[in-house]
């Protein structure tokens, strides 16, 4: 099930929050920077990597002080590739695989790829819906989280047109 909500990712009671990041797990959007601040100082230590990751990867870490216990970092940028539709697609598929491995039932995410991925909000949400697994036990629920009511209306309309 996919739903669209206007909310703050930091306070959602879900198994994990998806967070768009670069190859070093640094945030790639302003909302990601805010999420990191809300996660607290310990979150930076939880997301340290020994070597840069490749765009299209996804990794799970603790979530610091967020309401969700885990964060799935969706790597959409690295030094060798620009963030675009296919990179975001690969990263989302990786994120759903991590969610399956960790048996995460409920996820919340901003429209992954919007802004940093050069996609419009509705295109990013459609890509999330297209790649979200429907034939597995995990994950079961995805909340696409937007910051404004007009974005919720836009994303919901795009998702309705898709079905």
Q: Which of 12-16, 65-69, 118-122 has the lowest mean pLDDT?
A: 118-122
Is the confidence at residue 97, as pLDDT, over 80? yes
4 and 125 Cβ atoms separated by less than 8 Å = yes
Mean pLDDT for 105-119 is 88
User: 21-60 b/e with 16+ CB inside 10 Å = b?
Assistant: bbbebebbbebbeebbebbeeebeeebeeeeebbbbbbbb
Task: Give 81's pLDDT tier (boundaries 50, 70, 90).
Answer: confident
Looking at residue 163, its pLDDT comes to 62
pTM to 2 decimal places: 0.94
Is the confidence at residue 101, as pLDDT, over 70? yes
Question: What is the rounded average pLDDT for all residues in the chain?
Answer: 93
Show the domains of the chain with their CATH numbers.
2-162 (3.40.220.10)
Q: What percent of the chain has pLDDT over 90?
A: 83
How many C-beta atoms surround the C-beta of residue 147 within 10 A? 16
Residue located via tokens 């840069």: 52
Looking at residue 117, its pLDDT comes to 58
pLDDT in tens, 128-144: 999 999 888 899 999 99
Task: Give 162's pLDDT tier (boundaries 50, 70, 90).
Answer: confident
Residue 117 three-state SS: coil
């Amino acid at each position: 099930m996919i739903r669209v909500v206007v909310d703050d990712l930091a306070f959602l009671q879900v198994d994990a929050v998806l967070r768009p990041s670069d190859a070093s797990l640094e945030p790639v959007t302003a909302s990601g920077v805010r999420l990191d601040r809300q996660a607290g100082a310990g979150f930076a230590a939880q997301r340290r990597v020994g070597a840069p990751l490749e765009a299209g990867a996804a990794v799970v870490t603790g979530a610091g002080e967020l309401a969700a216990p885990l964060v799935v970092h969706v790597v959409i940028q690295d030094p060798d590739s620009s963030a675009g539709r296919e990179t975001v697609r690969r990263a989302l598929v990786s994120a759903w695989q991590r969610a399956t491995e960790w048996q995460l039932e409920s996820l919340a995410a901003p429209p992954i790829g919007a802004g940093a991925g050069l996609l419009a909000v509705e295109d990013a949400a459609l890509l999330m819906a297209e790649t979200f697994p429907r034939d597995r036990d995990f994950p079961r629920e995805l909340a696409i989280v937007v910051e404004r009511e007009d974005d919720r209306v836009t994303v919901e309309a795009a998702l309705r047109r898709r079905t």
